[in-house]
A and B are shown apart, each in its own frame.
Chain A
Amino acid sequence: MFACLYLPAMPGHTGLKPCATAGHSGANKGEAPFAGLLEVARTFSPRVDAQSERTVTLDIDGVSRLFGDNQAVGARMRRAAADAGLGPVHVAMAATRTAAMLLAAARAGVTVVPPGDEVAALAPLPLRTLEVFSPENRPATFSSAENRPATFFPSKNRPATFLERGREKGSRSIFECDKGSRSVFDPAALAVLARWGIRTLGQLAALPAAELSGRLGQAGLQWQRLARGEDPGPLVPARDEETFDATTELEWPIEDLEPLSFVLSGLLEPLCQRLERRDRGAAVLHLQLRLVTKDTHARQLQLPAPMRDPKVLRTLLLLDLESHPAPAGIDRVTLCIDPTPGRIVQDSLLTRARPAPEQVSTLLARLGALMGESRCGSPALVDSHRPGAFAMTPFRVTEDGTDNTRLKPCATADHSGLQLEGSMVRSGTGLQPCVTAKAALRRFRLPVPARVLIDQGRPIQVRTDRPGLTGGQVSRCAGPWRTSGEWWKTKGASSVSGIEALWGLAGWNRDEWDVALGDGGIYRIFEDRVSGRWFVDAVID
């Protein structure tokens, strides 16, 4: 048995008065009747489905044991709605939700239809009653985005509306059909029926189905099934919004991380169990620590992938607090989790298992605490000709290995493209061919100042003050190779020192030389053409 609560649109009464029992103070006006109707319905049954902005259906099987017969239940529902400030609502009860909805839309007060009498009860209702199913009366969240009222349109900074939150993936309203539902419940078909002289639902229900289908297609059949009170699908209860937060008051203030880790474990474990039950993962962790100074120390962790392992989350929080400790003792801990659908991973027997995002996140957090957050990640090239320019990007592991891109062919040596040269080397094991690799640089992140002697325009000696890089006589050299750029960053020649250019704060203008020194090393040195100073930039290794 199903019941339907219908809130009619009455002149002078919009039903938009905020509902005291709704408990959504932040909800906008358009959500108030929704929340109120759902709250009223939930006081009678947990199996509730919001069908439209003014219509809620609920399964009332077994409710009579608590509240009396159906008539009494209906009267109680009306009273509860009135107490909630919703005004007079229509209540109808029938064996199908469709019949209950049509009756509630058409008749005021309480209507109870015994099982099996739905068609007869619906027969005298006017055809326009079916407009309750038309797209204009659908809930804003079910309509197309263009038809949504502004108040219901989801915004980035606003939580999802009550219906949006209640809708789980896979559930659907009585209105909703498969793709193309717009054509199935086409209001134009109702207009055609009206032109045919069909005035009541009984007349529509009595039409021969084959003839109706031949003229109106599936839309006609769908409207006819509704006119007969048949449900297009089972009731899928709307779930209430579930928040994942927990708070604990501490008897004594905590100042160290070790006792705090126990507190966090106590908060995280039940939260993660709830996440698991709902097949959810944490997308963002919000930690609020109320301090003894009455200040609040808030931290927010954006997780790279949905996680619900309490140990991992606790470790990440602790590592973050190591880097950003609370300035005073903590007397209250509040933890809030933004949930997101759980991660579904399809492993393969044919590819190497990749580390889980939990592992990577923990590793990166530990490395960040040890080395500095900006010093761990993946290198990335930047769109610049500045020598040694690069950027750091977060290191991420993709589940499907799509980043596991195939090896780009090396410039000079790859698996298949090894250049085997003709020269041979005699060794203890025989002759071996000579193979080629690409030269790599080892850059001094801050170039080492050098003293360079020049003879006939070429460097002949390089000396530095750095231990282990004393330099020596230049045995061979190649250059100069002039390079410059980002001149627009240079405010004026007089204000530019070599250091500014080296740090990327100004443009660069240099002559580069590759020199082989007496110590056996091959170096890239350059002369800054603005300051005239020499530097050792890199080792060719």
Chain B
Amino acid sequence: MSAVCRADVEALLRTRKLDRTLVPFGSPGAGTPPAPLTMATGVAELDRQLGGGFPLGQFSEIVGPRSSGRTSLLMQTLAAAVGRGELVALVDTFDMFDPESAAAAGIVLSQMLWVRGEACTPASPLVASRQSRAEHVLSRSLKALNLILQAGGFGMVVLDLTEAPAAALRRVPMTTWLRFQRVLEGQEAVGLILGAAPLSRSAGGVTVSLAPGAGRAARGFEGRVFRGFESDVRTARARLVPGLTDARTRLRISA
């Protein structure tokens, strides 16, 4: 009876093209689902923690508060992808990408498509309507992401939403993320979303959460030059490989 109900649910999901949300069921007797193809992050420990890296054809997330090391981890991941000969694209919603940091991380800048959004600064004449301005900028970034995904050919496509107001993000329809996922699936590419909180990971993607490590300030601010900080990296969600969930490692970020 339960099998019939499950088949019905799966058929309904398939009809609505939501079958990608299904998770392989590890029932006794069923074969072990094949491990998803992944793209290494360039940080060996994190790759081990993620079962090889970020899964291909899926949207994954790197989330964390400000100064948690999320951008540093993203740079490492982009550098690793470029080092393998991939083209990468970054949709920089609020135009905060720093090419110097990217070059220092090892990214070959000529292999990177950088789409610069618009900085919402106090100098902007629309400062009074910053919220609506942020929504406008976010909307354009989402369109740019869609264009890049539709074009294909990129090994990694990143959408940076770290400074986006939460209210603006909440107004993005859920179907938008589903549409992106539909475009990405089947491509040998990784979709990455950089944000402050989990937002739009696809069913097969993973969420890597970063948090400032304890006592980092004491070690990083010795002397006149800032030396770096530490960050705890946790695999928050990995539905396709449940055993990986909640794995942790510590990332030392040197200035």
Contacts and interface: CB of A to CB of B under 8 A. Distances in A.
A408 to B, nearest CB: 5
A268 to B, nearest CB: 21
A440 B147 contact: no
Contacts of A446: 119, 121, 123
Contacts of A437: 43, 69, 72-73, 75-76, 105, 251-254
Contacts of B254: 412, 436-439
Contacts of B71: 440-442, 541
A377 B97 CA distance: 13
Interface in A399-430: 401, 403-415, 418-421, 423, 425, 427-429
Interface string A356-394: 000110110011001100011111110000001010110
A393 B108 CA distance: 13
A381 B98 CA distance: 10
Contacts of B163: 442, 468
Interface residues of B, number: 93
Given A370-B147, A395-B113, A440-B98, A478 B249 contact: no
B78 to A, nearest CB: 10
A363 B143 CA distance: 12
B148 interface: yes
Interface in B70-94: 70-76, 79-80, 82-87
A257 B217 CA distance: 58
A351 B85 contact: yes
A528 interface: no
B178 interface: no
B103 A376 contact: no
Contact of B223 (A410, A475, A478): A478
B50 to A, nearest CB: 12
B212 interface: yes
Nearest to B244: A429
Interface stretch (A15-23, A28-36, A298-306, A514-522): A514-522
Interface residues of A, number: 89
Interface string A437-467: 1111111111011000000000000000111
Contacts, number: 291
A485 to B, nearest CB: 15
A352 interface: yes
Interface string A304-330: 000000000000000000000000000
A396 B82 CA distance: 14
Given A381-B103, A395-B113, A407 B108 contact: yes
Contact of A407 (B43, B83, B234): B83
B43 A442 contact: no
A355 interface: yes
A465 B122 contact: yes
A6 B99 CA distance: 66
B113 A541 contact: no
B95 interface: yes
Contacts of A418: 43-45
Residue among A353, A396, A438 with max Cβ neighbours from chain B (10 Å): A438
B66 interface: yes
A516 B229 CA distance: 11
Contacts of B162: 442, 541
A433 B228 CA distance: 17
Among A371, A381, A446: residue with most chain B CB under 10 A: A371
B30 interface: no
Contact of A379 (B72, B102, B228, B253): B102
Given A388-B100, A514-B226, A519 B105 contact: no
B109 A380 contact: yes
B46 A435 contact: yes
B188 interface: yes
A347 to B, nearest CB: 13
Given A413-B76, A414-B42, A436 B253 contact: yes
Interface of A: 351-355, 359-360, 362-363, 366-367, 370-371, 375-381, 388, 390, 392-393, 395-397, 401, 403-415, 418-421, 423, 425, 427-429, 432-446, 448-449, 465-468, 475-481, 514, 516, 519-523, 538-541
- In the complex, the 10 A-B pairs of residues with the closest C-beta atoms, listed nearest first: A407-B83, A355-B153, A514-B226, A427-B248, A379-B99, A476-B221, A410-B106, A541-B71, A440-B101, A521-B66
